[in-house]
Amino acid sequence: MITYLSMTKSIHDWLFSILPEGAANITEMVLIALAYLALFAVAGLYLVLLERKVAAWFQLRLGPNRVGPGGIFQTMADALKLVSKELTSTDRIDKFLYNLAPYFVIVTALLAMTIFPFSKQLQAFDPNIGMFFLLAISSIGVIGILVGGWASNNKYALIGAMRSGLQTISYELSVGLSILTMILLTGSLQLSEIIEVQRTGGWLIWQGHIPAIIAFMVFMIAGTAETNRAPFDLVEAESELGAGFHTEYSGMKFAYFFLAEFINMFIIASIAVVLFFGGWLSPFGITEGITWFPEVFWFFIKVLVIIFLMMWFRWTFPRLRVDQLLTLEWKYLLPINLVNIIFMAILIWLNWTL
């Protein structure tokens, strides 16, 4: 029987046997970083393909079906094209900030990916402030968008970036409060701990019943807004702003923004899975006794379901106006959230959780 733990342990032992300690540590870090980069690239590419296929099916089209069987290499071809393109820029841009912006976006997305427990043993980094870390990291991403729009010296990019700032500042509140509602239930910010809580008492959406469902709905709305996806894609509203904050970017820099959007979607879905749907735990514990079963499977299945839900939103709802966006957040989501958090606290105090 080979588990991830024994695999990683044997690699660890082998590295320490042939290298001095410091070098072995650094090699291990590089290996983990490479694994995450690979996951990042593959997940990004295939989420783009999934999005295009799902969009096509929602609109009774076929979607990409020419490159490879069923179009599975379409996004690879797109990525190759983007890599081979020239990195252009306009006159009078702020060169340093312009080049920095895509890295802000992509690095924060990568950082947030590191702490997810894909299975019991498959987790690179498990800080005891996991959820706090996620919230903190995900709010850095918007700096990349703001900087990119600012440095482009383009009014559409600037408007897009400013809208992004406004949107993220507003909706971060709802994301944070809905996460906090669930944290009341778990009593821990550590992601592995949150999943352990759900092993005995059922998934948190079951344990917390009504307030948990409200928190989930608020989280999905605010999470979609956080990732700047339709119906909250004011940032890159094609009909108004060209392409929004990445209007002036080309080639791989554009691809970074584009990939980061999909990775952020993956991150939001992963947070939802960890907080509400038991992470890598199997539904009703059906694979609990099977030791060789890869729990990663359950994690990715759940993430894909949530991502599908977000794509369903995207291809159903029309884009909100700026004032509607703010009304939704400040007049509806925030008061509901504040009441909900009290409701959850009372529920826990009276021991009415399931």
Partner 1 sequence: MSYFSDIYKGIKTLLTGMRVTGGYFVNARKGTLTQQYPDNRETLKMFERFRGEVVMPHDENNEHQCTGCQKCEIACPNGSIEIIWDRGVDETTGKKKKKIDKHIYHLSMCTMCGLCIEACPTDAIVWAPNFENSVYDRTQLTKVLNQPGSKVKPGVED
Q: Which residues bind partner 1 (CB under 8 A)?
A: 54, 56-62, 312-313, 315-317, 332, 336
Cβ-count burial 244-259 (b if 16+ within 10 Å, e if not)? bbbbbbeeebbbbbbb
Nearer to partner 1, 224 or 247 (CB): 224
What's the CA gap between 240 and 137, in Å, rounded? 30
- 211: its two tokens: 């307030």
Q: How far is the CB of 50 from partner 1 (least distance, A)?
A: 13
Nearer to partner 1, 317 or 352 (CB): 317
Nearer to partner 1, 208 or 231 (CB): 231
Q: How far is the CB of 58 from partner 1 (least distance, A)?
A: 5
Asked if 59 and 315 touch (Cβ cutoff 8 Å), the reply is yes
User: If 0-12 CB within 10 Å is exposed, 13-18 middle and 19+ buried, where does residue 88 land?
Assistant: exposed
Nearer to partner 1, 57 or 96 (CB): 57
Q: How far is the CB of 309 from partner 1 (least distance, A)?
A: 9
Nearer to partner 1, 147 or 310 (CB): 310
CA distances (Å), origin 291, targets 4, 121, 155: 12, 12, 57
Q: How far is the CB of 68 from partner 1 (least distance, A)?
A: 16
Nearer to partner 1, 54 or 304 (CB): 54
Q: How far is the CB of 328 from partner 1 (least distance, A)?
A: 9
Three-state DSSP string of 295-349: CHHHHHHHHHHHHHHHHHHHCCCCCCCHHHHHHHHHHHHHHHHHHHHHHHHHHHH
Place of tokens 């909706």: 171
* Interior angle at CA 321, CA 317 and CA 326, nearest 5: 105
Nearer to partner 1, 103 or 312 (CB): 312
What's the CA gap between 117 and 274, in Å, rounded? 8
Q: How far is the CB of 217 from partner 1 (least distance, A)?
A: 8
Asked if 145 and 206 touch (Cβ cutoff 8 Å), the reply is no
Nearer to partner 1, 156 or 216 (CB): 216
Q: How far is the CB of 339 from partner 1 (least distance, A)?
A: 12
Q: How far is the CB of 60 from partner 1 (least distance, A)?
A: 5
What's the CA gap between 261 and 307, in Å, rounded? 12
Residue 1 amino acid letter: M
